[in-house]
Structure 1
Amino acid sequence: MAEKEYQAEKMKHINTVVLTHRRDLPKREGVIAHVNNESVMQTVYPGQSVTGDFLRLDDRPGSLWMKHPKLGELLVHTNKNIFKPGDELVNALQQSKGHPVTLSLDKTGTKLFVVQNGLEVKQDLKTPALPMGLVQSGLINYGVDVTGELKGVYNKGATLEIQTKDGPFFYGQLPGTDLAQSEVSARKMIGKKVELSYGHRGALTLRSLEVEPQLGKVG
């Protein structure tokens, strides 16, 4: 057995849910992450809603632990900078410690609901959460293009999600480089076939591969 495989077998296994409004992302198994200062092996599930007995907030913003009826102790990520001390969401969660609580997103991914003991607290999110953990990070070599469908634009255009022939991947802007296109122009290409490459001075460059319809002559 290879050393890496042996180390992976020795890792603690945890179940994780990433809250997302997306319905196209399958669960991922064998995802290595760093949790509570140790490397763990995760099975990561997508979920628009999850219910369990609230245990505690995690050290990372927007994450918490609950006891799920089927999965046992469960780590839940919203991938948003929320659950700050003293806010309404945290108060609702702390009041439900040891009791059932439901976290859910609306169909746009921009509204988070916490329901405990029949009471509902809503948190408005400016943008849908980036589905970290459900999508792998990809690398682009200079001179090599990536093609696929643009699925999402995050971090003001600095992170792009491309559905390639090998599955969905995140591609990020290189540190210290300028964006080759604005967030607005990138969002206009969501759902279209695109080509992605590192352009001038390492800027992440996005180009639509779809032919725009031509307007006919008038008169």
Structure 2
Amino acid sequence: MPRHVRGFDVEQALAHLQRRDRRLAGWIRRVGPLEVPPGWRRPFDPVDALARAILFQQLSGKAASTIVGRVEAAIGSARPHADTLGRIDDAGLRACGVSGNKALALRDLARREQAGEIPSTRQMAWMHHDAIVEALVPIRGIGRWTVEMMLMFRLGRPDILPVDDLGIRKGAQRVDGGAAMPTPRELLARGERWGPYRTWASLYLWRIADFAEAGGVKTNRSQD
């Protein structure tokens, strides 16, 4: 397995998509160029990212940020890890606004980190994206979609297509002019022509969905 760098050649990805899919190419011209996700260049800590993903689940960005700030103050660190989370008990987490299920998820994350079950960024660089998904989805509160967002927005893997994402499916429906959104299975088959740059196609599908429904106003995504 070759070493994976964070990010990829977006101009090459764009040319590939425009060459392989005329319908998508038309929308790409309409939407215009995309910005490279800034997370590709930022320092990345998988445990910290997973802890924040857990805390942000099912909350607005403002509410989640408030809770994260309280947790950071309670543990005396901006990095929720096994050692720092050990500084606060479950009652303390609840006082910060963390639900019981999320507290259990954070404890499971910390336990797995201590057991060496969470790959480091260095280890992930040598892992296929499917292997990263397989390693992380056993964590309580972490599903495939959460890992896919990390792969796209933080690790910059080029060939990720989150087929269960509603925005992705809406964008694909808009591209093809369908009466209904494609099912995940249909989207998986539809996306074969976009490989090996399905991540860049996904970013465009989100923007196409925004363009159609929100007048082009960009919707922020997890880990964006």
Instruction: Note whether the superposition's TM-score is higher than 0.5.
Output: no
Larger strand fraction of residues: 1
TM superposition score normalised by structure 1: 0.30
Answer with 1 or 2: which has the greater Rg. Answer: 1
With a CA cutoff of 8 Å and minimum separation of 6, indicate the structure with the bigger relative contact order: 2
TM superposition score normalised by structure 2: 0.30
